[in-house]
């Protein structure tokens, strides 16, 4: 066995390069043969792309210069460069890149949307071998189409940071003729790893923005209902609907200096899936940093019987100038909670940005290579996705049988949740509780401190002020004054 733990960083990199079958093979996009590719020789058009991605494989959505893990934007941008749809030299800014939402490390996307300017074949003719290669995806060897993808190189911090309202009702710009367009869906899926799949593209007008034109975002959070009171969770979720102050249900990003934490939730519900899981469906016009995972953490506490549904109303009652009334008749007025209690947020794995909503007529989703819907269809990504689904289903079946094999010799752990529910054992003194955090994770503890009795985190004003006096001042080239002692425990 090689003593890898004693190797230097350079030795480890050299070993990985030696083992990587793709490392020494040149690529047309990064090492072009012949004359340099001239992007100015081709027309451009603005389009929107809708795509899915499995967030467990990525360090988040947002492009980063030196990511610890590949990012979704980084891999997608590399594929766009590889197919010569955008110029790497211009970066994301050069192609007018706008994303509908930024998802955190481990969070997935089912209907993510980006808008950007790309190369178009409309109005141009492939007159040379070089131009022909630019118009269609290049042949790829069997090694490049392995399940690990072609080896492209390439993280929200935020769940979303939509602080500006939607700005336009753009209509898609239709071409004058039905000329054959670049096969955007097939061309990109031919290059992308199977964990990212482009579903469709749409022509859009020049002022369209995937972010600012979006009217709502829909998140889904999947969880097991085992040991949870779904009726109590539904009660707590219903309290989110409307325009509420979510400062106690998000993480404060001091670098953005956000002072308004009001967001409008259009719908919130706890629903059953077709299988054994449940899903928290949340749809709103905008979301704050880690907002969905904070909400889900509270829903788990309510479902476990550790908190009453009214705790959600209390956490939303954060603005002294606009106190909330009781949520329903017979309830006491909610206490004022001006700063967030200390609690652990839910795991990111089960969270998905499911869909993004736009005004009718703004988008015209297409899958083929022709400029009209009646044109040639493209290769569907469904066969590969179905194969991945089948493998995941088999893996889940194996895990279930491993569990059954263990249960033949070991008693399953006692279930104490939801507390006080009929048929559930009462919690004995000194017993350890496994408080759910989502994604199969739990927090083991022998005691539970009610949320409103816990230590309070610094207020948003305190967090913002500390940043202005510290790290923010350094970014502006100013000397930072002394930081007030009251803000010393802020985690930046």
Q: Compute CA distances 339 → 114, 267, 299, whole Å.
A: 35, 25, 19
CB-CB contact of 350 with 221 (8 Å): yes
Look at strands 196-203 and 216-223 and give their pairing.
unpaired
| Cα(356)–Cα(110) distance, integer angstroms | 9
Residues 6+ apart with CB under 8 A from 471: 254, 255, 480, 492
Picking from 204, 205, 206, 199, the residue whose alpha carbon sits closest to that of residue 368 is: 199
342 is catalytic: no
Q: How many CB atoms lie within 10 A of CB 336?
A: 12
* 116-147 residues labelled b (16+ CB within 10 A) or e (exposed): bbbbbbbeeeeeeeebebbbbbbeeeeebeee
The rounded Cα 218 to chain-centroid distance in angstroms is: 11
Angle between helices 230-238 and 291-303 (to 10 degrees): 140
- Asked if residues 169 and 362 have their Cβ atoms less than 8 Å apart, the reply is yes
The candidate with the shortest Cα–Cα distance to 346, out of 377, 304, 375, 314, is 304
Q: How is residue 294 written in tokens?
A: 């904070």
- How many CA atoms does the CB half-sphere of 117 hold within 13 Å? 16
Active-site annotation holder among 24, 78, 87, 104: 104
The residue among 179, 260, 166, 254 whose CA lies nearest residue 215 is: 166
- Residue 345, token pair as written in the block: 């947020």
CA distances from 106 to 60, 352, 439 (A): 6, 9, 11
Gap between the Cα atoms of 313 and 324, Å rounded: 8
Looking at 230-300, which runs of residues are DSSP E strands? 242-245, 262-272, 278-284
Among residues 169, 152, 143, the alpha carbon closest in space to that of 83 is found at 152
Residues labelled as active-site residues: 104
């Amino acid at each position: 066995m090689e003593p890898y733990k004693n190797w230097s960083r350079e030795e480890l990199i050299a070993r990985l390069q030696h083992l990587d079958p793709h490392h020494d093979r040149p690529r047309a996009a990064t090492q072009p043969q012949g004359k340099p590719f001239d992007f100015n020789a081709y027309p451009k058009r603005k389009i929107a792309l809708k795509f899915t991605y499995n967030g467990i494989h990525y360090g988040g959505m947002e492009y980063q210069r030196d990511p610890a893990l590949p990012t979704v934007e980084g891999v997608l941008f590399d594929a766009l460069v590889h197919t010569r749809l955008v110029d790497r030299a211009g970066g994301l800014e050069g192609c007018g890149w706008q994303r509908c939402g930024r998802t955190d490390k481990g969070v997935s996307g089912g209907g993510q949307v980006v808008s950007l300017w790309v190369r178009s074949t409309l109005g141009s003719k492939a007159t040379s071998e070089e131009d022909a290669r630019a118009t269609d995806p290049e042949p790829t060897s069997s090694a490049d189409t392995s399940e690990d993808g072609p080896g492209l190189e390439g993280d929200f911090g935020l769940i979303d940071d939509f602080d500006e309202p939607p700005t336009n009702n753009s209509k898609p710009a239709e071409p004058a003729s039905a000329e054959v367009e670049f096969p955007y869906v097939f061309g990109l899926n031919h290059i992308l790893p199977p964990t990212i799949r482009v579903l469709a593209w749409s022509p859009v007008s020049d002022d369209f923005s995937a972010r600012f034109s979006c009217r709502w975002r829909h998140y889904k959070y999947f969880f097991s209902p085992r040991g949870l009171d779904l009726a109590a969770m539904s009660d707590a979720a219903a309290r989110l609907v409307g325009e509420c102050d979510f400062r106690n249900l998000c993480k404060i990003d001091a670098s953005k200096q956000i002072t308004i934490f009001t967001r409008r939730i259009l719908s919130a519900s706890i629903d059953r899936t077709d299988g054994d899981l449940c899903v928290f469906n949340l749809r709103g016009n905008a979301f704050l940093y880690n907002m969905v995972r904070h909400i889900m953490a509270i829903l788990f506490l309510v479902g476990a019987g550790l908190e009453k549904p009214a705790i959600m109303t209390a956490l939303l009652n954060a603005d002294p100038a606009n106190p909330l009334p009781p949520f329903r008749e017979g309830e006491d007025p909610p206490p004022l909670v001006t700063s967030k209690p200390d609690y652990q947020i839910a795991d990111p794995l089960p969270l998905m940005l499911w869909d993004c909503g736009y005004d009718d007529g703004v988008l015209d989703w297409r899958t083929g290579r022709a400029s009209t819907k009646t044109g040639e269809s493209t290769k569907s990504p469904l066969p590969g996705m179905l194969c991945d689904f089948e493998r995941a289903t088999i893996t889940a079946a194996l895990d279930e049988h491993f569990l059954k094999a263990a249960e033949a010799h070991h008693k399953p752990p006692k279930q104490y949740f939801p507390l006080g529910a009929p048929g559930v054992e009462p919690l004995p003194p000194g017993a350890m509780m496994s408080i759910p955090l989502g994604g199969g994770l739990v927090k083991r503890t022998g005691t539970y401190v009610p949320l409103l009795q816990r230590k309070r985190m610094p207020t948003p004003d305190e967090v913002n002020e500390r940043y202005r006096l510290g790290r923010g001042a350094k970014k502006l080239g100013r000397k930072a004054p002394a930081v007030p002692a009251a803000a010393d425990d802020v985690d930046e």
